[in-house]
Chains A and B, each alone.
Chain A
Amino acid sequence: MDQYAVVAKDISKAYADVEALNDISLEVKKGELFGLIGPDGAGKTTLFRILTSLLLPDSGSGIVENFDVVSDFKKIRKIIGYMPGRFSLYQDLTVEENLNFYATIFGTSIQENYDLIQDIYVQIEPFKNRLAGKLSGGMKQKLALSCALIHKPDVLFLDEPTTGVDAVSRKEFWEMLKTLQQKRITILVSTPYMDEAGLCDRVALIQKGKILEIDKPQNITKQYSLPLFEVKTSRMYQLAGDLMEYASTQSAFRFGDSIHLSLKNEETSEKEIVDYLTGKGHGQIAIRKIEANIEDCFMWLMNR
């Protein structure tokens, strides 16, 4: 038990007739950067709210640092940091007032744990007298993270910290998380962006309240057992439809400037695919075998 910072066991939760979580079990090791990857409505927020003691599960149990999320909720609240998906700091307090407020609630001060938040907080410190409500999206995110960290939590829960954030800011945010991990904080982070899975030690892929898979990202992608090709031609718009009509096709999904084609079996050769596409009027056909990424796997698991 001691090696785990967080344990969820058979957790289920329903809202009226909607089943938000269906028998969820997962374990997060101490010091791990663990990702909960899935689209909106998958149940990510519900699971976070249960594990942070803000919501009661219908059944099942949750343990955080050996404390039960129901019976020991007061203890849990002292040792975790939680950054909800929606910005929930005081808009009418300044940056510094918000940080001070959170530090005081937890019986500490900004000075005491400054080293932990320094890398993040220096970026917004020039605006410390600005009202939180007047900050840009990226700055709000940095302030919220500073406030979630100021009492030096053992476990940090970040609910969709990068949603609606541009590609550059997203990269910077993950760099901050990597630095925090080195300070021995266990981090649970949820995201709808599949490409962020690769930045986690382990991930749980979650969809409609059910876990599709839990493993290291590289182990999940290794499990993809169908032959997978990247295909480009001169007529990209028609390509998806033409590939879907091909007899050996399992799936054909757009991926940026190419299409990822998975086949039902190993028997079909690249040449046969090229011949088929040539017959359909495609030119400049480029096809190569590729390894699956997390998004390929997610879609494959969704359809299984």
Chain B
Amino acid sequence: MNKTPVIHTENLVKKFGAFTANDKLSFDVFKGEIFGFLGANGAGKTTAIRILCGLSKPTSGIVNVAGFDIYKQTEKIKQNIGYMSQKFSLYEDLTIRENIRFFAGIYGLSSKTIKDRTNELLTKLEIMDLGDKLISSLPLGWKQKLAFSIAVFHRPQIVFLDEPTGGVDPITRRQFWDMIYEAAKDGITVFVTTHYMDEAEYCDRVSIMVDGRIEALDTPSGLKKTYEAENMDEVFLKLARASTTASD
């Protein structure tokens, strides 16, 4: 991992009326890093992710994603990132190949590139004979692995994963992380949220949001040392329990 920032924020503030959802967030995410973005429900994670993906503008502050400015170059940002969440992954009533062609087409890849990479991908996932199956016929674990592969199909600089492993069985959950490691090794920066605290340990660095602020940011081992905790679960509980808005 080198120290080139692919995400840079300085005093990022987002307000909804009188409510401050993101309060002066300043952090860098480096190329090829697996960055865990943690926080309690309602801490402001989704707001921040929407901004970083170019879907919403900050109220103030400097934000650069993949080398582009959040105020003027959101379309450029969208072309250079990938996104997947637990809630929305792929079109159920399209086949695997159709989903790939659809998403790759949106990112403007040529037919030839799409064809080559599709075969490459299906071979790698060992599902060459399943290409014409509807997504709805696949088990959840497979859908999530495929959704991840499609999110990085256009070789983005950064991929945002919003609770990608929620509800997935424990073996598939670990296979999913093998895929994340592999993407990071290929130089793709991974920005991931999760409620599984063991997965926080798999990240290179982890930030923890509390009440709209980044309360801690360090390597998992650094955080455990600072908060005198056995594991990330304890770190999280110590920080999030201190929250002033107990409503969520």
Asked if A256 and B167 make an inter-chain contact with CB atoms under 8 angstroms apart, the answer reads no
A 124-164 to B, binary, CB cutoff 8 A, 1 in contact else 0: 00010000000011110000000000000000000000011
Q: A168 CA to B247 CA in the complex, in Å?
A: 12
Asked if A39 and B236 make an inter-chain contact with CB atoms under 8 angstroms apart, the answer reads no
Minimum C-beta distance from A69 to chain B (A): 26
Asked if A169 and B41 make an inter-chain contact with CB atoms under 8 angstroms apart, the answer reads yes
The number of chain B residues with a CB under 8 A from chain A is: 39
Q: A256-B231, A257-B221 are in contact. Are A164 and B195 (CB under 8 A)?
A: yes
Asked if A207 is at the interface of the complex by the 8 Å CB criterion, the answer is: yes
* Interface hub of B171, B172, B243 (most chain A Cβ within 10 A): B171
Asked if B169 and A302 make an inter-chain contact with CB atoms under 8 angstroms apart, the answer reads yes
Asked if A136 and B41 make an inter-chain contact with CB atoms under 8 angstroms apart, the answer reads yes
Asked if A41 is at the interface of the complex by the 8 Å CB criterion, the answer is: yes
Please pick, from A42, A138, A256, the residue contacting B41 in the complex, using a CB distance under 8 A: A138
Asked if B233 and A167 make an inter-chain contact with CB atoms under 8 angstroms apart, the answer reads yes
Asked if B167 and A167 make an inter-chain contact with CB atoms under 8 angstroms apart, the answer reads no
Residues from chain B with Cβ under 8 Å of A295 in the complex: 170
Q: A194 CA to B165 CA in the complex, in Å?
A: 13
Asked if A84 is at the interface of the complex by the 8 Å CB criterion, the answer is: no
Asked if B42 and A138 make an inter-chain contact with CB atoms under 8 angstroms apart, the answer reads yes
Asked if A90 is at the interface of the complex by the 8 Å CB criterion, the answer is: no
Asked if A255 is at the interface of the complex by the 8 Å CB criterion, the answer is: yes
Asked if A164 and B248 make an inter-chain contact with CB atoms under 8 angstroms apart, the answer reads no
Residues of B22-55 at the interface with A, using a CB-CB cut-off of 8 Å, are 39-42
Q: A257 CA to B221 CA in the complex, in Å?
A: 9
Asked if B231 and A167 make an inter-chain contact with CB atoms under 8 angstroms apart, the answer reads no
Asked if A192 is at the interface of the complex by the 8 Å CB criterion, the answer is: yes
Q: A164-B163, A166-B39, A166-B41 are in contact. Are A207 and B248 (CB under 8 A)?
A: no
Asked if A136 and B170 make an inter-chain contact with CB atoms under 8 angstroms apart, the answer reads no
Closest to A137 in B: B41
Minimum C-beta distance from B95 to chain A (A): 17
* Interface hub of A40, A194, A295, A302 (most chain B Cβ within 10 A): A40
Asked if B198 and A138 make an inter-chain contact with CB atoms under 8 angstroms apart, the answer reads no
Asked if A166 and B170 make an inter-chain contact with CB atoms under 8 angstroms apart, the answer reads no
Asked if A136 and B241 make an inter-chain contact with CB atoms under 8 angstroms apart, the answer reads no
Closest to A170 in B: B195
Please pick, from A123, A166, A253, the residue contacting B240 in the complex, using a CB distance under 8 A: A166
Asked if B40 and A169 make an inter-chain contact with CB atoms under 8 angstroms apart, the answer reads yes
B 188-207 to A, binary, CB cutoff 8 A, 1 in contact else 0: 00000001111011100000
Asked if A299 is at the interface of the complex by the 8 Å CB criterion, the answer is: yes
Closest to B172 in A: A39
Residues from chain B with Cβ under 8 Å of A39 in the complex: 140-141, 167-170, 172
Asked if B241 and A168 make an inter-chain contact with CB atoms under 8 angstroms apart, the answer reads yes
Residues of B229-248 at the interface with A, using a CB-CB cut-off of 8 Å, are 231-233, 236-237, 240-241, 243, 246-248
Asked if B177 is at the interface of the complex by the 8 Å CB criterion, the answer is: yes
Residues from chain B with Cβ under 8 Å of A138 in the complex: 41-42, 247-248
Asked if B174 is at the interface of the complex by the 8 Å CB criterion, the answer is: yes
Asked if B17 is at the interface of the complex by the 8 Å CB criterion, the answer is: no
Residues from chain A with Cβ under 8 Å of B164 in the complex: none
Q: A137-B42, A139-B248, A257-B221 are in contact. Are A194 and B198 (CB under 8 A)?
A: no
* Interface hub of A137, A207, A253, A254 (most chain B Cβ within 10 A): A254
Please pick, from B139, B169, B197, B248, the residue contacting A167 in the complex, using a CB distance under 8 A: B197
Asked if A167 and B237 make an inter-chain contact with CB atoms under 8 angstroms apart, the answer reads yes
Minimum C-beta distance from A226 to chain B (A): 16
Given contacts A136-B247, A164-B86, A167-B197, 8 further A-B contacts (CB under 8 A): A39-B167, A123-B247, A136-B248, A164-B163, A164-B195, A171-B237, A253-B170, A299-B171
Can you show 6 pairs from A to B with CB atoms below 8 A apart?
A: A123-B246, A136-B247, A164-B166, A165-B41, A254-B174, A257-B231
A→B interface (CB under 8 Å): 38-42, 123, 127, 136-139, 163-171, 192-194, 207, 237, 253-257, 295, 298-299, 302-303
